[in-house]
């Protein structure tokens, strides 16, 4: 299993996931950041290979550079270090709907093979088994950001054949479903899990494994995924985390842990 080899090499599957996700980002990206793993990945990118990346949180902070990871999308640290902070209506109207965001980086409670996301409900909407927080900014991020990256841990519960509620639209039922809705944005372009990197098939738009993280075998990916996994014919191995990437990530987590303890 992935974790064993990762431990031998002295890094965890989670660390591999965050670092692999961070590598997707470029210095000239304008990235709308989701909380949790996406926030960690975006800040690792900023602290390593993409120092000029513009990070935007939905609380209105534009060009933020937090020293520790925020617990919420609106921690004071985000505002203190931002280029500017705008109101929430301005954020959603001028910046997101206005088409100024190149990447929306999201997490997901439940996802299907076309990158459709459920963060609303498990069970039926009217009498739910588990009521989840809901969409927040995600429904419009998913349709209005230039493209969408998603990062999440794999499990049979989270990667399912059919999601129970379409909170945020990915590629629908695949192929040209986005164009049929009149959407001009790309939609889900990468899924980074603790086991693999997935990209949509150019035609069907189904997520296909392009990279396995070091030590992971295809059976691991299938065992933790609710749909029949497709592998790219040319899939390869994700490069291991560098010492520098690991150091930056661990320092960030350490600073974050201490900050959240005292405040």
Partner 1 sequence: MANFTSLEKAVDAVMSDGVCVAFEGFTHLIPHASAHAVIRKEYRNLTLVRMTPDIIYDQMIGMGCASKLIFSYAGNPGVGLLRRLRDAIENQWPVALEIEEHSHAAMANAYEAGASSMPCAIFKGYAGAELKQVNQNIKTIHCPFTGEELVAVPSIQPDVSFIHAQKADKKGNVLIEGIIGIQKEAVLSATKSVVTVEEVVDELKTHPNAVILPHWTVDYIAEVPGAAHPSYAQGYYDRDNAAYIEWDQISADRTRFQNWMVENVMQQTTDIFAKRVGFLAKDKLSKKSEH
State the catalytic residues: 58
> Is the Cβ of residue 76 or residue 239 nearer to partner 1 in the bound state?
76
DSSP per residue, 143-198 = HHSSEEEEE----TTTB-SS-SS-SB-SSTTSTTHHHHTT--S--EEEEE-SSEEE
CB of 113 to partner 1, least distance (A): 16
Distance CA 183, CA 171 (A): 10
> Is the Cβ of residue 88 or residue 156 nearer to partner 1 in the bound state?
88
> From the list 22, 102, 151, 168, which residue makes contact with partner 1 (rule: CB under 8 A)?
168
Contact between 63 and partner 1 (CB under 8 A)? no
For the chain, the distance separating the N- and C-terminal CA atoms, rounded to the nearest angstrom, is 38
CB of 118 to partner 1, least distance (A): 9
Q: Give the residue from 131, 107, 92, 100 showing the smallest Cα distance to 39.
A: 107
Q: Which residues of the chain form beta strands (DSSP E)?
A: 30-33, 54-57, 61-62, 84-85, 103-106, 110-111, 117-118, 121-123, 128-131, 147-151, 188-192, 196-200, 207-212, 230-237
Contact between 198 and partner 1 (CB under 8 A)? no
CB of 12 to partner 1, least distance (A): 21
> From the list 1, 79, 160, 223, which residue makes contact with partner 1 (rule: CB under 8 A)?
79
Contact between 140 and partner 1 (CB under 8 A)? yes
Contact between 125 and partner 1 (CB under 8 A)? yes
Sites of contact with partner 1 (CB under 8 A)? 35-36, 58-61, 70-76, 78-80, 85-89, 91-93, 96-97, 116, 120, 125-140, 142-144, 165-169, 172, 177-178, 181-183, 260-261, 263
């Amino acid at each position: 299993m992935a974790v064993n080899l990762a431990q031998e090499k002295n890094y965890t599957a989670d660390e591999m996931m965050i670092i692999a996700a961070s590598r997707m980002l470029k210095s000239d990206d304008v990235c709308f950041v989701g909380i949790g793993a996406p926030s960690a990945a975006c800040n690792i990118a900023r602290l390593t290979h993409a120092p000029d990346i513009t990070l935007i949180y939905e609380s209105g902070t534009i060009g933020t550079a937090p020293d520790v990871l925020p617990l919420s999308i609106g921690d004071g640290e985000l505002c203190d270090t931002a280029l500017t902070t705008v109101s929430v209506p301005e954020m959603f109207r001028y910046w997101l709907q206005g088409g100024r965001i190149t990447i929306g980086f999201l997490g997901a409670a439940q996802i299907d093979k076309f990158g459709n996301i459920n963060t609303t409900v498990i069970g039926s909407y009217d009498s739910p088994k588990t009521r989840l927080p809901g969409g927040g900014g995600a429904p419009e991020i998913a349709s209005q950001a230039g493209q969408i990256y998603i990062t999440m841990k794999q499990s049979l519960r989270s990667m399912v054949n059919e999601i129970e509620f379409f909170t945020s639209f990915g590629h629908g039922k695949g192929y040209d479903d986005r164009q049929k809705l009149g959407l001009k944005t790309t939609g889900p372009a990468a899924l980074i899990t603790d086991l693999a990197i997935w990209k949509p098939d150019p035609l069907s738009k189904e997520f296909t494994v392009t990279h396995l993280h070091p030590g992971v075998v295809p059976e691991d990916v299938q065992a933790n995924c609710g749909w029949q996994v497709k592998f790219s014919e040319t899939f390869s191995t994700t490069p291991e985390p560098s010492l520098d990437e690991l150091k930056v990530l661990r320092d960030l987590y350490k600073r974050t842990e201490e900050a959240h303890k005292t405040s």
